[in-house]
Amino acid sequence: MKKPIIAITADIYRLKSMSSNDQAIDYAPRDIIRAVYQAGGIPIVLPAPTDIQETDFNELTENFDGLLIPGGPDVDPSFFNEDPIPQLGGVFYERDQFEIHLISAAVKTGKAIFGICRGIQAINVALGGNLYQDLAAQYPDLKIKHRQYPTEGSFPTHQVTITERSELAKIIGRQSFVNSRHHQAVKDLGKGLKVTAMASDGVIEGIESSDSNQIVAVQWHPESMWQRFPEQLKLFKNFVERAEDIYD
């Protein structure tokens, strides 16, 4: 059977290095790339195009089977019709614009979608939802630490409870001990989505499609954990299997 092509949207590395000189570099995290390989997919890194308006997103989605939206900077609140609050971190407008268009096209063309951290947020915004720009400033029931630094990112720090009979529960069960490095979070759900995991303080930690298994997204970082906690690799294996369904 043909291995599915997994598109991973790129972030931009802006610091000088020996190889890049003064140039920005489009990249995807190595741990995600290796997890996709380990799960049986073929990863490709998909940078934002120069001109969004000239991009045929339906044509673009024809070249891959699954879309993975990884972590990264904050989502620009202008995409959910809000002004930035003082606690907002750095944003990358070009990436937001690209991912929102790409997610919408991938949904319409039936591609498997997997979101990680910022990815869960971008998916929610692309489908009409919004976010807490900063949990400490905007979420009154905040009880636990969601930015685990300086604790190493490959170790879990808090539990999440997963909804019974959800796709996520089928993958990793009803409870999971996860890592956490975010200060934004899903607030009001986008169209066609349902909540599938929550932290003990009620912060949303997982969402998926309400009527299919097309979209699965989590707030934590399984790519940082799967080498020590193999159950987290199941998320990538499930994603690759969903992407394979295009050939059935």
Q: Which residue has the tokens 């929610």?
A: 124
Helix (H) or strand (E) holding 46: strand 42-46
Please report which residue ranges of the chain form alpha helices under DSSP H.
Answer: 30-39, 57-61, 93-108, 118-126, 135-138, 167-172, 233-244
By C-alpha distance, which of 206, 226, 217 is closest to 155?
Answer: 226
pLDDT by residue (tens digit) across 182-221? 999 999 999 999 999 999 999 999 999 999 999 999 999 9
In angstroms, the CA 118 to CA 64 distance is 21
Say how far apart CA 102 and CA 106 lie, in whole Å: 6
Q: Is the pLDDT of residue 18 over 80?
A: no
Dump pLDDT digits (tens) for 124-136: 999 999 999 999 9
- Which residue has tokens 């997963």? 162
* Token pair listed for 114: 């997997």
Percent of the chain clearing pLDDT 70 (strictly above): 95
Which of the residues are catalytic?
117, 221, 223
Q: What is the pTM of this model?
A: 0.95
Distance of CA 98 to the CA centre of its chain: 14
For residue 29, give the 3-state DSSP assignment: coil
- Specify the 3-state DSSP secondary structure of 172: helix
